[in-house]
């Protein structure tokens, strides 16, 4: 790690590689404040590392999505497993925010302000879900999880345009589609506390996906590319044109999707 303690990029790497969740959250908030206060410079890193394994605690065990046990929300353990899965997504999203800051070192200042804000909000979401999980008698790490979100981060670590297209606008945007249904199921189970947490997360995630949309379009314009066509081409290349639907078109519009993109998505199911 660099000897420059005032480098934004080295501070981001420190957040990214911190393993303990409580320490990661505290450091995330501290680095955001340092950035806001103008205490961090943008001296470029000599070498930007490829990070196959970011900072994470020893548990949860990571398994293939096919090996995750299917549990009914009608049972306490089934609800806990769902909350744990959501907490794991939010923990990964903290790392994704910091990886964007660390990895893509030639962007405008606002890019870093945006992704630091995302990391801070994801840390808050994780804390809400983890606290709820503890109140249920469980904790983060108590169930297996999968690593799909970070695997896509590694696949897109060579280009910020590809990252913006496929992580916030594909994988994270899926949460915009499915979260209302999850909230309805939790409400049926009487877990109103979880519903209120997911309302906060859903509201903030619209903004996170919109940040991805905005920077995706910025990068396309910088390269003379047509954003709608480029988005479709990247879906075909990396996702074989196959995405899970249905899509919440109204919410995706708020998150920066165009009518052409939405028509493409509807046809790609």
CA distance 238 to 216: 16
What is the pLDDT at residue 234?
Answer: 96
What is the pLDDT at residue 171?
Answer: 94
Orientation of helix 227-239 relative to helix 259-268, angle to 10°: 20
Q: Are 28 and 14 in contact (CB under 8 A)?
A: no
Is 64-268 a domain of CATH 2.40.160? no
What is the pLDDT at residue 70?
Answer: 83
Q: Are 148 and 171 in contact (CB under 8 A)?
A: yes
Break the chain into its structural domains and give their ranges: 64-268
The pair of structure tokens assigned to 217 is 């379009």
φ, ψ (nearest 5 deg) of residue 158:
-95, -10
Cis peptide before 246, with omega less than 30 degrees from 0? yes
φ, ψ (nearest 5 deg) of residue 236:
-65, -40
Q: Which mean pLDDT values do the consecutive 10-residue runs of the chain (269 residues) have?
A: 72 98 98 97 92 96 86 89 97 98 97 98 98 97 94 96 97 96 95 97 98 98 98 93 88 97 83
What is the pLDDT at residue 4?
Answer: 56
Half-sphere exposure of 49 (CA within 13 A, CB side): 14
Its pTM stands at 0.95
What is the pLDDT at residue 1?
Answer: 42
Burial 199-215 (b: 16+ CB within 10 A, else e): eebbebbbbbbbbbbbb
Interval 164-192: pLDDT, tens? 999 999 999 999 999 999 999 999 999 99
Interval 71-116: pLDDT, tens? 888 889 999 999 999 999 999 999 999 999 999 999 999 999 999 9
């Amino acid at each position: 790690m660099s000897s420059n303690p005032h480098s934004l990029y080295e501070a981001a790497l420190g957040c990214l590689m911190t393993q303990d969740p409580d320490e990661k959250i505290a450091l995330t908030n501290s680095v955001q404040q340092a950035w806001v206060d103008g205490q961090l410079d943008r001296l470029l890193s000599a070498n930007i590392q490829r990070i196959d394994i970011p900072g994470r605690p020893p548990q949860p065990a990571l398994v293939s999505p096919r090996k995750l046990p299917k549990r009914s929300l009608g049972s306490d353990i089934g609800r806990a497993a769902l909350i744990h899965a959501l907490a794991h997504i939010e923990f990964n999203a903290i790392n994704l925010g910091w990886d964007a800051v660390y990895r893509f070192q030639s962007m405008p200042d606002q890019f870093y302000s945006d992704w630091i804000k995302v990391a801070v909000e994801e840390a808050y979401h994780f804390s809400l879900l983890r606290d709820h999980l503890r109140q249920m008698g469980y904790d983060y790490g108590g169930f297996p999880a999968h690593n799909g979100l970070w695997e896509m981060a590694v696949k897109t670590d060579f280009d910020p345009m590809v990252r913006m297209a496929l992580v916030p606008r594909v994988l994270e945007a899926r949460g915009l589609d499915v979260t209302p249904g999850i909230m309805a199921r939790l409400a049926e189970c009487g877990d109103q506390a979880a519903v209120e947490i997911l309302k906060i997360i859903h509201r903030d995630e619209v903004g996170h996906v919109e940040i991805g949309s905005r920077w995706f379009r910025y990068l396309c314009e910088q390269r003379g590319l047509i954003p709608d066509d480029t988005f479709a081409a990247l879906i075909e290349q990396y996702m074989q044109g196959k995405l899970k639907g249905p899509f919440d078109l109204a919410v995706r519009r708020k998150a920066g999707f165009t009518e052409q993109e939405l028509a493409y998505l509807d046809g790609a199911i």
